[in-house]
Amino acid sequence: MIIYYDSKTGNVERFVHKIRLLTDWRCIKMSDSMLADRKGHLITYTTQMGAVAETTLRFMEQNSDFILSVSSSGNMNWGANFGLAADKIAEKYGIPILIKFELSGLERDVNSFILKVKEYAN
């Protein structure tokens, strides 16, 4: 399984680290002009009270055909804007949202993500 991810403050990076401890999945941090070569799931973050990160937008413009689902971190203090990046990406590219999690996620968020990715593969 491939997980593509974008992290700015380290919250998504910490979430992905927890996934790595429980799986043998390949987790790839996206970079500018990165081209995906295999299908996988996207984890990103919500910024500026509900916006999608520019790095994630550029990645999706080039690689959306390879992305099976989207998940996003966010901050519950943002109310209706919590994890809104996932909603915006899902709507624009017609892919499902797996989960939204706060900051770096709790153990139950990590377990839920892993379970949903495994279910998606079946």
| CATH number of the domain enclosing 113 | 3.40.50.360
Q: Which residues does 92 contact at the CB level (< 8 Å), separation at least 6?
A: 60
Domain span at residue 12 reads: 2-121
Question: What is the number of domains present in the chain?
Answer: 1
Contact status, residue 2 vs residue 29, Cβ threshold 8 Å:
no
Which positions of the chain have pLDDT values less than 70? 122
* pLDDT at residue 122, rounded to an integer: 60
* pLDDT at residue 120, rounded to an integer: 81
Distance CA 49, CA 80 (A): 9
Share of the chain above pLDDT 70, in %: 99
Q: What is the pTM of this model?
A: 0.94
Distance CA 29, CA 24 (A): 16
